[in-house]
Structures are given as structure tokens and as C-alpha cells.
Amino acid sequence: MKKKDLFIVIYCIIIVLSVMYATQPLQPLLAKQFDISIIKASQFTAVIMLFLAVSPIVYGYILEKVCAKKMLYITSIILLITNIFLGMSSTYEMFLFFRVCEALVVPAILTALMSILANIDKENIKYNMAIYVAATVFGGLLGRVFSGAIATTFSYEYVFYSLSFTIFISLFLIKKLSYEGEAQLNKPKIKDITNILKDKRFAMVYLLMFCMFFVFAGVLNVLPFRVKDISSSINEFQISLLYLGYGMGILVSLSSKKIVKFFKNELNTILFGITLFLIVNFFLVNKDVLILFIVLFIFCIGMFTVHTVSTGLANSMKAQRKSLTSGMYLTFYYLGGAAGSFFPSILYEHYGWDIMIYSFILVLFIVLGITYRSRGLFEVKAN
């Protein structure tokens, strides 16, 4: 693989994930700006998650064969335009419309980038996918911190104008990509999907990641409103710093083999990750922002341990139809994220933070119980 191509792909991944999560620390500010509820403000993140969930299945039917580089370039132009208009939006309806436009193209961009990364160096696919995961985590972290810093220093409009500039740079870089192959798109049959879901191992992993990301997205999406309730003097940059724990995802994804080796097998590692994640939720009811900041680092370690190991486990269970099983994994993962970015905000608005967190703890207790009881299904793989 040419280092130039790898750099371009990583840059594009980081920018797209920054666009995805840039609105999250700004949600209280946007809610005030557009005079909308917490529930409506949460839709700015939820809508992209929803489209990422349906894209692995739907996009395969819309796009039979398409050049990955061409798709990446065209969709990046659309993303550039929508970001400019987000900065210019003066109403909630206008802002949401352009956010939906972004939600339509973000999955196509990520599909193209994943196809390029998987095909420009087929001998190192596993390593390249680890780079992809690390780049998505770094992009999510950078987008949140960057948006908070820009919004506090200047104004929220400049967040989107700055992101537009970085997308503009990516257009020149995409032109220099040497890869000219087609994007890998699934066109699954209902029968194929039901056959995979009949396998209890897959059903368990998909349910596990739906629930884990539901709780994870729920906490991170409502978090800006929570800290504003604790102290109204906290600004957007200070809110964005609470997301620094997200960077633990990079360390966990790059150290996953050592972590699994320490716990003897994948399922023990997953059970540890769920337990850690569950215990940390009890500490989230604390009203000290500094304690919340520290706890969120451990919170992210628990989540990314389960996510990283579950991804590897799901990909190792079926030799055939790997593209479909990984596509379905992403569908359940992002469905959990979409639901978690929306429904917990309803709980928070009507019943408060503590009730929302205790609801998450109940969900995680159920997930831990199901996973523990299902450990026999993985004995052959785990040992």
C-alpha cells in the first residue's frame, strides 16, 4: 500500500467522523439557539446513526456497481455543501434538513473508504481494519473537542465553516488516490439474513452490541445537558473535554489481542467489559463534573473492550458471507446508537438523569445475564 493512499483514507475517515459528532457538545447551545427541546436537539446525532444502520442493507440495492473513488468524491462534495448550509441555517427545520442530507451521504463515504482500505493492500486487511477503527474513534474525539473549542472561541456557525474547509482539502486529496476499483456493497436476501439470525451466537452478539451502544450513545448524547444542569456557567469547550475519555477506544482497539490473551478468551473479555461498563454507570449519578470526567474514561474502556472483541468474534464465526455478517453487525450497532441518541433524551426530559441511568443499569444487568448464560455457545471458539 502506498503511504500516500493510506494517509488520504485516514484523513477522510477522521473528517467524516468529526462531522458526525461535531453537533453533540453543541446540543444545549443549538437547543437554545433554535428554541427547541432536548428531544429535538438529540435528533441531530440520531439521524446520522439511523442512516448508518440501514445503509449496509439498503445501499446494496441502490448501487449495484460503483467506482469507490468516484462515489467518495461526489458524496464529499455534497457533504461540503451541506456543512456550509448548516452554518447558515437560521431555523431548526432548516438545520435538521441539511443534517438529514448529511446522513444520506456519510454512510456512502464510509463504505467507499472501507472498500479502498480493504483493497489497496489485501495482505494486511486485519491491520487496515484496526487502522479504520482507530481512525473512526480519533475522528469522533477530534470532532467533539474541536467543535466545543471553536464554538466557545468564536461561534457555533464557525464549527461548520471550519469543517467545510477540511472537507474542501479532502477533495484535492481524493483526486490523488491511486485506487480505481469498485466499492464493496452487499445486496442481501431476506433468507440470508434470517439464516444468520437463526444462529444463536450471532443473535446474541447483535443484541449485545445494540444494547451496549444504546447505553453508550444515550449517556454521551445527554451528557452536555446534564453538565449544563449541574452548572450553567460551563461552556461548550469544557463540555467537549468530557469526551476525552473517548480516546480510550484507540488504545483498546490497538491492544485488543493482549487484552483477550490476559482474560484467556473472547467471551471472558466481553463479560469483563460489560461488568466494568455496568459498574461505572452507578458512578454517573454523581454531580461532580470532575468525577464525571474521570469516570467517563473507564466508561469508554468498558464499551470499546466489548465492541472491539465482539467485532472480531462476529467476523470469526462464519467463514462464508463475512461481508453480510459484518454488515449486519454494523446495522444492529448503529440501530442501538440511533435509539440511544433519541429515546434516553425523552427519559431525561421527563424523569431526569438518575432515572435514565438506572434504566441503563437495568438493561446492562439483563445483557450481562444473557451473555453469561450464552457462554456455552462459544466454547469451541473461546477455548
Model confidence band, residue 323 (pLDDT cutoffs 50, 70, 90) = low
Q: Residues 73, 161: one domain? A: yes
Note down the domain range covering 25: 1-185
pLDDT of residue 382 exceeding 60, the answer is no
Mark whether 204 and 158 lie in a shared domain. no
Q: How confident is the model at residue 276 (pLDDT cuts 50, 70, 90)?
A: very high
User: What predicted TM-score, i.e. pTM, was given to this entire model?
Assistant: 0.91
Residue 74 in this model has a pLDDT that exceeds 50: yes
**Are the CB atoms for 267 and 305 separated by under 8 Å?**
no
pLDDT score of 299 more than 80: yes
Mark which of 138, 169, 185 sits at the end of a domain. 185
Last residue of a domain, one of 133, 156, 185: 185
Q: Answer whether residue 217 shows pLDDT above 90.
A: yes
83-138 confidence digits (pLDDT tens)? 999 999 999 999 999 999 999 999 889 888 887 877 766 666 666 767 787 888 99
Q: Report CA-CA distances (Å) from 381 to 312, 315, 325, 375, 378.
A: 11, 12, 17, 10, 5
331 and 201 fall within a common domain: yes
Q: Is the pLDDT of residue 22 over 90?
A: yes
**pLDDT at residue 337, as a whole number:** 95
Residue 308 has pLDDT above 50, yes or no: yes
Cα-Cα end-to-end distance for the chain: 35
pLDDT at 201: 87
Please check whether residue 129 is in contact with residue 308, taking contact to mean a CB–CB distance below 8 angstroms: no
Same domain, 218 and 179: no
Q: Are residues 52 and 8 in the same domain?
A: yes
Do 192 and 177 lie in one domain? The reply is: no
pLDDT recorded at residue 117: 78
Whether residue 211 sits in one domain with residue 141: no
- Please count the structural domains in the chain: 2
Q: Does pLDDT of 28 surpass 70?
A: yes
CATH number at residue 361: 1.20.1250.20
- Cα–Cα dist 232/372, whole Å: 42
pLDDT at position 375: 79
Domain's final residue, options 185, 215, 250: 185
225 band by pLDDT with thresholds 50, 70 and 90? very high
Average per-residue pLDDT for the chain: 88
Query: Residue 280's closest CA among 256, 247, 305, 263?
Result: 305
Cα 167 to Cα 144: distance, rounded to the nearest angstrom: 16
Model pLDDT, residue 58? 73
User: What percentage of the chain exceeds 90 in pLDDT?
Assistant: 65
- The residue among 266 and 296 whose pLDDT is bigger is 296
Shared-domain flag, residues 177 and 197: no
Least confident stretch, 81-85, 304-308, 317-321, 328-332: 317-321
Is residue 383 predicted with pLDDT exceeding 60?
no
Query: Do 132 and 213 share a domain, yes or no?
Result: no
Q: What per-residue confidence (pLDDT) applies to 124? A: 65
218 or 312, which is more confident? 218
What is the rounded CA–CA span in Å between residue 287 and residue 285?
Answer: 6
Residue 156 has pLDDT above 80, yes or no: yes
Q: Give the model's confidence band at 244: pLDDT under 50 very low, under 70 low, under 90 confident, else very high.
A: very high
**Predicted pLDDT of residue 179:** 78
Q: Confidence class of residue 194 from pLDDT cuts 50, 70 and 90?
A: confident
CB 68 within 8 A of CB 19: no
Q: What is the pLDDT of residue 377?
A: 75
279 and 336 both lie in a single domain = yes
Whether the pLDDT of residue 25 is over 60: the answer is yes
383 and 238 in one domain? yes
Name the DSSP letter for residue 67.
B
Measured between alpha carbons, how far is 241 from 270 in angstroms, rounded to an integer? 28
pLDDT at residue 183, rounded to an integer: 66
pLDDT reading at 380 higher than 60: no
CA 246, CA 249: separation in Å to the nearest integer? 6
Q: Supply the pLDDT for residue 121.
A: 66
* Whether residues 175 and 192 fall in one domain: no
